[in-house]
Amino acid sequence: MKKLILSVAFLGLGVFGFAQQTSKADKAQKRAEHLQQMKQELNLTDAQVAQLNALHEANAAERQQEMASKKAERMQKMQQNNAELQKILTPEQYKKYQDIKAKKMAEKKANFQSRRAATTVTK
């Protein structure tokens, strides 16, 4: 009985794992299918579908721009933080800080890549 429950649980987790991985082509296809579904359900004209598609594309472009500006703000804050650290720490301490930070980033990158490899193997 326990094996059956565990099997069902792992099967369910596997299904959710596959559902999370979508490519840009999949997203574009889903967007197109959604527009076609809206067209049928709401009895939209081709002109209305084109307007909706343009609206969705404009919103997507706006979101991309917002993300880029937020990234620029984060980078600026990070540079300000590093400048403050350089004022507080001695050159040796700052060098050691950078080495520790680089080591942690390398570990995070390795962990991310191993998780990513594990998920691609399960496909």
The per-residue pLDDT for 23 is 74
CB 102 within 8 A of CB 82: no
The three-state (H, E, C) secondary structure of 13-70, written as one string:
HHHHHHHHCCCHHHHHHHHHHHHHHHHHHHCCCHHHHHHHHHHHHHHHHHHHHHHHHH
**Greater pLDDT, 78 or 21:** 78
The per-residue pLDDT for 102 is 96
**Greater pLDDT, 112 or 19:** 112
| pTM, to two decimals | 0.53
How many angstroms separate the CA atoms of 39 and 110, rounded?
46
* pLDDT tens digits, one per residue of 57-108: 999 999 999 999 999 999 999 999 999 999 999 999 999 999 999 999 999 9
Position 117 pLDDT exceeds 90: no
pLDDT averaged over the chain?
85
**Greater pLDDT, 74 or 24:** 74
CB 60 within 8 A of CB 46: no
